[in-house]
Amino acid sequence: MLVLTRKLGESIVIGENIRVTVIDVHGKQVRLGVEAPRDVSVHRGEVYERIVEENRRAAEAEPTALDQISVKLHRGNNRGDSG
Read off the pLDDT band of 44 (50, 70, 90): very high
Q: What CA–CA distance (Å, rounded) separates 57 from 30? A: 33
For residue range 10-28, list pLDDT tens digits in order. Answer: 999 999 999 999 999 999 9
Output the pTM of the full model: 0.65
Q: Are 21 and 35 in contact (CB under 8 A)?
A: yes
| Three-class DSSP category at 12 | strand
Q: What CA–CA distance (Å, rounded) separates 24 from 40? A: 23
- Write out the DSSP string of 43-70: --HHHHHHHHHHHHHHHHPPP-HHHHHH
Return the sign of the alpha-carbon dihedral for residues 38, 41, 45, 48: positive
